[in-house]
Structure 1
C-alpha cells in the first residue's frame, strides 16, 4: 500500500531520480514527438495512490476507444513536459505546474511513428477532473497495488514480430503497448529496477 501523502510523493520522486533514462536513440526527423502523463492521485476506493487511465473517445480518428494515458503530440517548440501538462489540462481539466513533475521515463518509439516521452506528475488537485468529451470517454483511477501484482502483466509471441507483446490485465480488459509498456516501466521504477521497455512490441492493430 502506498498512501497518497507527502511521504509517498517523496519516495516516488526519489525512485524517479534514481532511474537513469536512456539517451534518445531514434532519428528525431523520422518520428513525431509526443508526451503522456503518469498522473498520480488518490485511489477512489482505498488509501492507495493511483494513476489516471483514460478510454479514448469513440469518434476520434486514431486509436478510438482504446485505453491510454493522458497525452498527445508535442506542439512546435514545446518540450515533452510542457506538452504533457498541456494535454492533462485539455483532456482532464487538471492544471498542474512544473513543480508537480516527479520525473520522466524512457522514450518509447511506436509503430505508428511517434516517440513518446512519459512524464510522472503528482496530481493532488484531482477533485477538479472533468473529462473533455471531445477526447475522453471515461477516466479511471488505477491503484498502484494493481500494477505491482505478479499477474498484472504478461508477454505473448505473435507471428508478425520477433518481439514479445506486453499486456496489462485490467479487470476484463487487456491493455497493450505503448500504454502497457509505459505502465510496466513505471512499476519497475517504483521497485528500483532499471528495466527497459523499448523492445516490447505492440499488437498489430496498433501499428497504424
Structure 2
C-alpha cells in the first residue's frame, strides 16, 4: 500500500522525473490539444493514495456517461498544465497550482482528433471536491493498489484495427482508451518502467 503522505509524494515525483516523455510527433500539429489530470489524493477509507476518476454527466454532447479522468480541451494560448488545472477546478472545484504538478506522461493521440496530455498532480485537499453536475455525474477514488493488480488490465484484438484494445477492469465496468491507456502508463511509470501506450487502441465506439 502507498500511504497518502509526503514520502509517497516524493516517490511519485521522483518516478515522474525519471520518466522520459516521447518527443512530439510532427503529425500532432493537426490535432486539437487537450489535457487530463491524474489527481492523487487520499482514498475514501484508510490512508492509501488514490486517484480521481469521474463518470461524465448524461447531459453532455460527447461521451456522455463514460468513465474519464478530469480534463478537457485546451483553450487558445493555454498550456496543457494550465488546461488541466483549470478543468480540475471547473469539474471538481479543486483549485491547485503548478506547484502541485508532479509530472507529465506521454501525449496520446485519440481517434476523435485530440492530442491528450496527462498531467500528474498532488491534490491534498480532497475535502474540497464538489462535482459540477453539468459535467460530472459522480467522482470515484481509485486506490493505486487497484491498478497495480496483475488482472487490472487486459488487451484484446478487434477486426477493425491491427492494434490491441486496452481495457481497465473496474468493478463491473470496462474502461477503455484513452483513459485506460493513460492509467496503464501511470501504473507502469510507478513501477519504474518506460512503457509506451500510443499503440494501444480505442474501441470502435470511441472513434468519433
Residue 198 of structure 1 is matched in structure 2 by 198
TM-score, normalising length: structure 2: 0.99
Shift of 1:6: 0.1
Residue 173 of structure 2 is matched in structure 1 by 173
| Local SS of the residue matching 1:120 | strand
| Local SS of the residue matching 1:151 | coil
Residue 127 of structure 1 is matched in structure 2 by 127
Matched, 1:21 2:38: no
Unaligned runs of 5+ in 1: none
Q: Tell me the alpha carbon deviations over residues 54-111 of structure 1, each in whole angstroms, 9 at most, x when there is no partner.
A: 0000010000000000000000000000000000000000000000000000000000
Change (3 A) 1:186 1:166: same
Shift of 1:28: 3.8
Residue 101 of structure 1 is matched in structure 2 by 101
CA RMSD of aligned residues (A): 0.6
| Local SS of the residue matching 1:63 | coil
Q: CA separation in 1, counterparts of 2:29 and 2:45?
A: 44
Residue 188 of structure 1 is matched in structure 2 by 188
Residue 156 of structure 2 is matched in structure 1 by 156
Shift of 1:27: 2.5
Q: Tell me the alpha carbon deviations over residues 128-175 of structure 1, each in whole angstroms, 9 at most, x when there is no partner.
A: 000000100000000000000000000000000000000000000000
Q: CA separation in 2, counterparts of 1:61 and 1:26?
A: 30
Residue 44 of structure 1 is matched in structure 2 by 44
Aligned length: 208
Unaligned runs of 5+ in 2: none
